[in-house]
Amino acid sequence: MKARWPDTYVEVVALGPLVAIPALEDLLRLGADKATLLSDPAFAGSDSLVRTRILAEYLRGVSFDCILAGAQTADGADAEVPPHLADLLALPQVSNIIRVDEASLVEGWPLVDVDEGRLQATYRIPLPAVLSLKHHHAQVLPHVSLRDSRADVGDRLHVIDNDQLGLPAHEVGTQGSLTQVVEVLDPPVRQREPRFVRCNAEGIEQVHAFLQSRGLITHTTAFSPSHVQGEQVVLVGRRPKDPPGDIRDAEILISGGGGVAGSFDELQKLAAVMGGRVTASRRAVDLGVAARAIQVGQSGRTVSPRLYIALGIDGAGQHIEGLRNIESIISVNTNRHAPICSISDIVVEGHAREFIERLCRRINEGTTAALEPH
């Protein structure tokens, strides 16, 4: 953005220990104008609400047009911080942003594209505002060049402690936090008990009910914009969401194996209806029906979508290892003893093409019914 509009002034603000300084120095070397680290031993143990108050206290004293925030920190997910921050600063705010139109941002009324599940909405937002960006694997910072890595940027890095902010000691750290960490545990290994159904009307109805119970399909184009704050935020329009550029960003993956080599293109029909991405097992890639860029598994890419539908996949060990972090798995196979069935929530015994046709028809029927006037 600074390359197109050199007068744009960028300040990076972080809250954390002093070990964050090298990362901030690299951001300065990449083009940021100023970096500010809010750091004090008194801040240790602060919950997300207290961290938001600390950030707000600093931001009240600086001038800005727009606050760009993410959904994750270096050690966790803090997606609740930007909405709290907007509330404390009395600013409009939008979450789940997947694209910001830079030209309109410079003009003062940015257009932003927002992920709303199966839909993608565009909003126009008055400035100043808080814009919360959704994480994308394709969006990565470039590396600092060897020449720039030697640049001294210390004069543009500022560390501010609580003596300068002036927050009461009882309002920060563990003392000021309503929520505190009592114990940290490793997540339990989820034991799945597969439910076997046939690829008929009754079986598809069970699959459909399962998807609805997990919030993976909805039969309405209406959306309650809980991710939007501010009366002046204007909805410009909605349309079907573009598929994510990287399979690791997709919430729904429709994956095919050797069993669907002769009809691999059919998977795109289901992906389109469910707003997902098509992926493949190594077997499908080796057979030449799918590109290696969409291969899932230890020899491909480890993924963690909310839903993984495996069509005609046997489930070699390396493939299953790449599926450990998936919330829900549905496998469609003519062999109920295939290894992938043991880690599935639902196993549909039947042929993939019939399953795709039946499930697409069922989802579309529900959508049509929801759109009819009552």
Give the model's pLDDT for residue 222: 39
> Per the confidence metrics, is the pTM higher than 0.75?
no
Would you state the pLDDT for residue 220?
42
Sequential DSSP letters for 131-159? EEEPP-TT--PPPPPHHHHT---GGGEEE
Domain boundary among 176, 205, 232: 176
Give CA–CA dist 153/98, Å, rounded. 31
Question: Are 156 and 276 part of one and the same domain?
Answer: no
**Residue 34 is assigned to a structural domain of this protein:** yes
Alpha-carbon gap, residue 58 to 63, rounded angstroms: 11
Q: 124 burial class (0-12, 13-18, 19+ CB within 10 angstroms)?
A: middle
**Is 75 inside a domain boundary?**
yes
Residues 126 and 211 in one domain: no
Per the domain annotation, does 231 fall within a domain? no
Domain that holds residue 167: 11-176
Q: Within a domain: residue 238?
A: no
Q: Do residues 19 and 62 both lie within one domain?
A: yes
On whether residue 49 sits in a domain, the answer given is: yes
- The number of folded domains in the chain is 2
pLDDT at 223: 42
CATH code of 338's domain: 3.40.50.1220
CA distance 153 to 25: 6
Residues 125 and 200 in one domain: no
Q: Do residues 134 and 261 share a domain?
A: no
Q: What pLDDT does 156 receive? A: 96
Considering the domain boundaries, does residue 35 fall inside one? yes
Radius of gyration of the chain (CA): 24
The whole-number pLDDT of residue 90 equals 95
Whether residues 210 and 285 share a domain: the answer is yes
Q: Is residue 4 part of a domain?
A: no
- Is residue 81 domain-shared with residue 142, that is, in the same domain? yes
- Same domain for 248 and 316: yes
Last residue of a domain, one of 127, 144, 176: 176
The whole-number mean pLDDT for each consecutive block of 10 residues of the chain, a chain of 374 residues, reads: 87 96 95 96 93 96 94 69 94 91 91 83 94 74 86 95 96 90 73 91 96 76 55 82 73 93 93 89 92 79 86 86 84 94 94 95 69 42
115 exposure class (CB count in 10 Å sphere: 0-12, 13-18, 19+): buried
CATH number, position 71 = 3.40.50.620
Same domain, 210 and 117: no
Residue 131: alpha-carbon gap to chain centroid: 15
pLDDT at 371 (0 to 100): 36
In terms of domains, do 163 and 270 share one?
Answer: no
CA-wise closest residue to 248 among 297, 311, 321: 297
Do 165 and 205 share a domain, yes or no?
Answer: no
The pLDDT value recorded for residue 17 is: 95
Residue 201 lies in a domain: yes
Residues 305 and 346 in one domain: yes
